[in-house]
Amino acid sequence: MGDAMDRKASGGQVPPDPLGGMGIAEFGAALRAGRTSAEATTRAYLARIAAVEPRIGCFLHVARDAALASARAMDALLRAGTDLGPLMGVPVAVKDLFFVDGMPTRAGSDIDVSDLVGAEAGMVRRLRRLGAVIIGKARQSEFAFAANLRKHAPWNPWDARTKRMAGTSSGGSAVAMASRLAAFTLGSDAGGSVRQPAALNGVVGYKATVEFLPTDGALALSSTFDSIGTFHPGVADAALVLSALRDEPPIAPRAPRGLRLGLDRRFALDAAAPGVAARFAAALEALQREGVELVPISTPGVDEIPRMAGQLVPAEMVAFYGAERLRANRALVDPVAWERIVPGLEASAHDYLRLVALHRGLVRRGMAAMEGLDGWVMPTVPEFPQPVADFSTVERVHWWNGRVNDATRLANYLGQCAISLPLPADDPGALPAGLQVVCAPGADRALLAIGMAIEQVIGTGDAPDVAGFA
């Protein structure tokens, strides 16, 4: 009822983004100066959600009353002189797989997984302690297994006429961020599930090193590769959020001059669609003009991507959800997701241990390849977001999943941290693409400092006009 009233009040129009291009730091300054309030900001986001969500469909649950109560509490605390830090009063949307008290957790599936839902996620507890306002839960693909054939997928907000691929499995969080339905959004990434939808939706997507941020209190895909990720309009917000969550000093941007970034032209560019390759090449030229050195490399581990994605990840997924549960509910599972699950049902303990050992070796190879470099750079996804109607068979969806995930999966399998930045385009309405930066395990602060340096050169991404979804 509340959302319907908000939409009626907007007269069928999409209310403006309450941050209006401000970063989280600027919003915090305005909040503390009394120029805005957490409640007003939350109401504005709820009104935007109500206006576009019926078509965009990126939310599993909108916690209207709870979010407004939390926002009012933050305003009261500030008036009383209690300041919880830079995330205080900041509305955030959380991916479906995280446990949030009072909200459903479905794993994007029709299978009952309620017995697996436990105490509220560690990340959500941290956000609450820092004063963030949990505005709702964003949709994901089934079990976080890439694009599905039959399950609901959100609408990519860059094209209101044609439904295009919005990315998975954190696609709902990426769409919510691109549509400016929260100040930032939370996802998870075991093989590109943050960076890949970030690129397809024209936002920043940061994937942390495994265990750099807590993953407890969530439905798991892969205990080896699951990592936290966040979506933002710009890298500065990603840096601010990470520093706040880890209670660390602010991250300062690097200077572009002197950066040494590895570039594997065969892996990164040869297979990219011409338009993506051209925009990526233009960004590299701009970086080189500012003193960034591009070092030719041969990326390790490329040949092992199919084994990690096709065998290790499914084995860990089946171990978490239970083979008996999955077999008993096969008819409810999306056919693409089911084909990903089958190798996990068939994996032996011996096979699994060999794959884990292989992953450890890949991490060592990746770290060796990073010697003397600040990071690697490549297109995040080699394609622009394609029409959903072009993927009507299991075979076609499998092709898409492999096509858009290889460059992102490799960072996971090498144990690294990574970020995707929007690639600039001459046409403001052009479909989005992304530039990925990858750094060594644990070098997350350095990664975000590099991301800010690159963003200073190539610029930040635009937001899509979502008026056509109202």
**Given a cut of 60, is residue 255 above it in pLDDT?**
yes
**260-263 and 293-296 beta bridge pairing:** parallel
**Given a cut of 60, is residue 10 above it in pLDDT?**
no
- For the full predicted model, state whether its pTM sits above 0.85: yes
**Given a cut of 50, is residue 271 above it in pLDDT?**
yes
**Given a cut of 90, is residue 56 above it in pLDDT?**
yes
Q: Which residue has the tokens 């599972």?
A: 333
CA proximity to 383, closest of 129, 92, 156: 156
The pLDDT value given to residue 59 = 98
Handedness of CA 229, 388, 458, 93 (dihedral sign): negative
The pLDDT value given to residue 7 = 36
- 3-state SS assignment for residue 94: strand
- 3-state SS assignment for residue 37: coil
Q: Supply the mean pLDDT for the chain.
A: 95
**Given a cut of 90, is residue 258 above it in pLDDT?**
yes
The pLDDT value given to residue 452 = 98
In the chain, what percentage of residues exceed pLDDT 70?
A: 97
In the chain, what percentage of residues exceed pLDDT 90?
A: 92
**Given a cut of 60, is residue 5 above it in pLDDT?**
no
**Residues tagged active-site:** 95, 169, 193
Comparing 23-27, 224-228, 399-403, the range with the smallest average pLDDT is 399-403
- What are phi and psi for residue 138, nearest 5 degrees? -90, 150
Q: What is the mean pLDDT of residues 12-25?
A: 93
Structure confidence at residue 1 as a pLDDT band (50, 70, 90): very low
The pLDDT value given to residue 8 = 38
Q: What is the mean pLDDT of residues 194-202?
A: 97
CA proximity to 88, closest of 129, 119, 54: 129
Dump the DSSP string for 233-295. Answer: SSHHHHHHHHHHHHT-PPPPPPPSTT-EEEE-HHHHTTTS-HHHHHHHHHHHHHHHHTTPEEE
Residues facing 94 on adjacent strands? 137, 186
Q: Give the pLDDT confidence of 338-392 residue by residue, as tens digits.
A: 999 999 999 999 999 999 999 999 999 999 999 999 999 999 999 999 999 999 9
Residue 249 burial by CB count (10 A; 0-12/13-18/19+): exposed, middle or buried?
exposed
Q: What is the mean pLDDT of residues 115-120?
A: 97
Q: What is the mean pLDDT of residues 252-272?
A: 91
Q: What is the mean pLDDT of residues 281-306?
A: 96
State both tokens at 30: 């305005």
The pLDDT value given to residue 269 = 75
Cα distance between residue 327 and residue 214, in whole Å:
30
Dump the DSSP string for 115-151. Answer: GG--SPPHHHHHHHHTT-EEEEEE---GGG-S--SSS
**Stretch (H or E) spanning 204:** strand 204-207
**Given a cut of 60, is residue 434 above it in pLDDT?**
yes
Domains of the chain as residue ranges with CATH: 51-302+356-469 (3.90.1300.10)
CB 134 within 8 A of CB 89: no
Q: Give the pLDDT confidence of 73-105 residue by residue, as tens digits.
A: 999 999 999 999 999 999 999 999 999 999 999
**Given a cut of 80, is residue 259 above it in pLDDT?**
yes
The pLDDT value given to residue 148 = 92
Structure confidence at residue 195 as a pLDDT band (50, 70, 90): very high
**Given a cut of 70, is residue 9 above it in pLDDT?**
no
The pLDDT value given to residue 146 = 82
